[in-house]
Every structure is written in C-alpha cells, then in structure tokens.
C-alpha cells in the first residue's frame, strides 16, 4: 500500500450533472428494485433454492434490458447461470467489464435474525436482508448508474459489459469454463468488481491486493476401531494425541509457520507499504474489544494489519475425533481429522504450498498411526495491483471526488478467486469498487447495507465511468 497519489485537494467530480439529477429523481424507484431483488432467496449452495437462483438471474437480465443495454440474457453454465449484457457503441473508447454476483449465503441460524432474512427491513438508515451487502446492493448501484447515463445522455463515455454470476459463494466453479466459452463477449480492457468491500464506514478505501487460498483436510488412524481406554490405553496409539502433535508442529512458539518451504516464495514486505499501513488509524485494543479476544497473536515482527493483509497464514479450521457427547466415555479414539486453510501472498502458489504442508505432515507422523491427506480444489493465488495502475488511479480519483478526502489504498486479508480467473482466462486486470463495508455482518445474521452508501456509491460510479477513459488512455 502507498499513500494515494491524488493531491490533498479533492478533484472535481467528472460525473455529468444530468446523470446525477437522473439518479436523484429515480432514487426511490431504484431502492424499490433493490428490495425486490433481495427478496429472492438466491442461495447457491442449497439445491432447494435452485429455482430462486434462476429467478434472481432472470430478474437481473430484465433490469439490464430495461436499463437500455443490448443482448441482456441469462447464459447457461454447468451450474447456476451467468447474466450478461453490454453497451458497445462508444467507438474508439475503452471497454470495462463490470463484475458482481447475485447468489447469497444461507441465512441460518434463522433464530438470530431480528427480521426475516428475505423480507428486507429498512430501519435506522440501513437495509437488513441476506445478501444486501454481499453483493446485491453494490451490483445494483452499477446497473442504476448505467441506466441513468443512458436515460439522461443516451450514451456512455466508454463501452460497458456486465457479467453477474450465481456461484461466487460456492467458489465460482463454472466461471472459468464460461469465460473460455464466451471469451469474446466478455473481453475488456479492465474488470471493475462491484464485489468486495471497504475497510471502514468512516473513510473511503479501495484494495490493491487480496490474499490467496489453499486448503486441505487430513486425518490419522490408529486401531481399526475405537477401543476401551482401560484395557488398551498405553499399548495402542491414541489418534487424538497424534493429530494434536501434528497440529502443534505446524507453528513455532512465535506464531511463524514451521513448515519447511512455506515461505520460499514470499517476498519481503515493502518498507513503504509497512510504513503506510502502520500510519493508518488502527488500535489493537479497540480491535480486541470488537472481536472479544484477550490479546493479538501471530507472526512476530509484524503489526496486526500487516499480518492480516500482507503475510501468509496457516490456520486449523476444524478438529474432531473421539467421544463428544455428554459425560465421560472411556474410549481410545481410533481416528481424528483436521481441516486446514492457508492465506497466501504474492508469488506463493497454492500447489507448492500444499506440497510443502503434505511433506511436513508425512515426515512428522507419530509412530502407531497412519496419515491420509485430501486436498481441496477450492483455492486461488494471491492478487495485487501495481500502485500506478490506471484503473486504480481512476478508482482513487472517483472516491476522492465523491468523499472529499483521499481514500486509503489497502490490502485485503480474504481471497477473491475471480481476480486470478479473469487474469488467467482473458488476461484482464481487476480493480475493486464496492460500497459495502466490512462491518455489515456479511455471511452472518442481520446482514445490512447503509443507505448513505447507496447514495454515495451512485455518485462515485457516475464519476468513475467518466474518469476511466482518460486514465486508461494515459496507461
């Protein structure tokens, strides 16, 4: 991360006045369209909601057609469909692909919602509903702004293609093949992702990097079945003891990953990035109060944000085996299982990291048990933009003009596999332009979206579409 290159004085907005006036006039109608959208329970992971996912796709296609876009249609995939539309009438102008996803996470546990998850509730300046922040409001903003341009000016300042998918929440399994099949339809100079989010509600941010992901599951087996701990204890290996030893050996006492080769491709943190990150208004005590932990912990020598955004991790996500019911059962467990994920940084490759972990586990297996390892295909490489990328300059400029303050350009601890997918399949770079905020209970009960962000996002998107042609021409 570097400090924004935009001057301290906010640049003038490039959003046409006619477009802003049209957005203001249509605010209530556009909000109603959003509320209708979030009523559709488009839960991609649950087969019971397959028809709801399709209904959400058809809803979007109809909105894109009504906005004045061409070729608005639902495209079949091996899983849930894509939605696509385009406006390619700006001769000689660049083309941007606007990405978002219309599928949502399951709403459970339902009893923790204050209002039903698919009956949107507007209160205290917020809309509460499953999927409203991730990603239905952010992608709706982009549609609304393009529609306002076409109503007010009958044209856009550049060519725009929309791609909305229905499988982001399950790892986008159908997206690579769909991009390969429809490459010319989606080819553009830049991807602008409406998915993502800002770090804080009190200051605009955008992301220059995301961490990658690698995952595996492993287990150990001792005896062929659980045994009586009195009769067999002390003579046969306990699978839980063995897996605990393996897990304990994955890190050293200072929180550094102890797997040989894990850090081989990790580049040193740029001093300018470290300095800018430490200058951000972040307080460990406030963070600990928010998450309810007694102390921070992690790789020595780095601050909390540096560890969250720019350093790789290895985490045990699940561990089980033996008796877990009420009371005592004197059993010697025969097997135990663990799930592990790693967040990766630039230049780390998921397969190389998983190779190193598997070697480490096989070399460290205690006597008396056998090990099995199963890799997950749910992974992605890390992603990062260069600081002077024209798409990033345009995003920074649009946010600065809208909010009146220079945005922070930060890293993201999570993973966004679509960035690698677009890069690999079509050679396209992705920038992030979402108006969700990380505290909006995404994936949790009572997910919400701030209505002030709905208004701000519309103004910022209007500016971004006007700003991008000039920045992309500068290169």
Beta strands 331-332 and 227-228 are antiparallel
Q: What pLDDT does residue 8 have?
A: 65
Give 366's contacts (C-beta < 8 A, 6+ positions apart): 220, 237, 241, 242, 245, 246
Q: 46-58 burial, b for 16+ CB within 10 Å, e for fewer?
A: eeebeebbbebbe
Alpha carbon 55 to its chain centroid, in Å, reads 24
Q: What pLDDT does residue 43 have?
A: 98
Residue-wise pLDDT for 373-427, tens only, equals 999 988 889 999 988 999 999 999 999 999 999 999 999 998 888 999 999 999 9
Q: 5-21 burial, b for 16+ CB within 10 Å, e for fewer?
A: ebeeebeebbbbeebbe
The topology (CATH level 3) of 212-266+312-375 is Alpha-Beta Plaits (3.30.70)
Q: What pLDDT does residue 195 have?
A: 95
Instruction: Round to whole Å and give the CA distance between 176 and 421.
Output: 6
Q: What class, spelled out in words, does domain 17-210+382-474 have in CATH?
A: alpha beta
Question: How do the domains of the chain map onto residue ranges?
Answer: 17-210+382-474, 212-266+312-375
Three-state DSSP at 358 gives helix
Where the chain has pLDDT below 70, the residues are 1-8
0.75 exceeded by pTM: yes
């Amino acid at each position: 991360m570097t400090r924004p290159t935009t001057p301290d004085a906010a640049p003038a907005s490039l959003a046409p006045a006619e477009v802003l006036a049209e957005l203001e006039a249509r605010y209530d109608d556009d909000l109603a369209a959003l509320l209708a959208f979030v009523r559709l329970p488009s839960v991609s992971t649950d087969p019971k909601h397959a028809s709801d996912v399709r209904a959400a796709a058809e809803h979007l296609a109809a909105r894109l057609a009504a906005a004045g876009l061409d070729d608005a249609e639902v495209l079949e995939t091996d899983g849930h469909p894509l939605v696509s539309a385009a406006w390619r009438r700006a001769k000689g102008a660049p083309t941007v692909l606007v990405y978002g996803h219309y599928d949502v996470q399951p709403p459970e546990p339902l009893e923790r919602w204050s209002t039903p998850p698919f009956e949107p509730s507007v209160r205290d300046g917020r809309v509460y509903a499953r999927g409203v922040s991730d990603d239905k409001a952010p992608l709706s903003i982009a549609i609304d702004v393009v529609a306002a341009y076409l109503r007010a000016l009958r044209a856009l300042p550049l060519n725009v293609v929309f791609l909305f998918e229905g499988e982001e929440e399950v790892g986008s399994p159908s997206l690579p093949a769909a991009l390969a099949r429809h490459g010319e339809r989606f080819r553009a100079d830049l991807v602008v992702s409406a998915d993502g989010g800002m770090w804080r509600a009190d200051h605009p941010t955008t992301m220059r990097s995301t961490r990658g992901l690698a995952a595996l599951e492993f287990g150990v087996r001792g005896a062929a079945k659980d045994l009586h701990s009195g009769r067999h204890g002390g003579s046969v290996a306990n699978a839980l003891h063995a897996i605990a030893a393996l897990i304990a050996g994955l890190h050293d006492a200072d929180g550094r990953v102890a797997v040989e080769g894990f850090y081989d491709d990790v580049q040193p943190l740029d001093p300018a990035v470290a300095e800018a990150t430490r200058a951000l208004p972040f307080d460990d005590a406030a963070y600990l109060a928010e998450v309810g932990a007694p102390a921070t912990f992690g790789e020595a020598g780095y601050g909390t944000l540096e560890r969250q955004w720019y350093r790789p991790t290895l985490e045990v996500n699940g561990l089980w085996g033996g008796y877990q019911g009420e009371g005592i059962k004197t059993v010697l467990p025969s097997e135990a299982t663990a799930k592990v994920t790693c967040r990766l940084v630039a230049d780390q490759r998921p397969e190389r990291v998983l190779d190193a972990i598997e070697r480490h586990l096989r070399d460290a297996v205690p006597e008396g048990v056998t090990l099995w390892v199963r890799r997950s295909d749910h992974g992605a490489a890390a992603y990062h933009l260069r600081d002077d990328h024209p798409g990033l300059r345009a995003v920074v400029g649009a946010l600065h003009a809208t909010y009146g303050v220079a945005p922070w350009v930060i890293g993201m601890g999570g993973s966004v596999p679509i960035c690698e997918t677009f890069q690999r399949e079509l050679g396209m770079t992705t920038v992030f332009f979402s108006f969700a905020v990380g505290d909006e209970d995404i994936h949790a009960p009572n997910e919400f979206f701030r209505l002030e962000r709905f208004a701000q996002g519309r103004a910022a998107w209007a500016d971004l579409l006007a700003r991008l042609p000039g920045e992309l021409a500068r290169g």
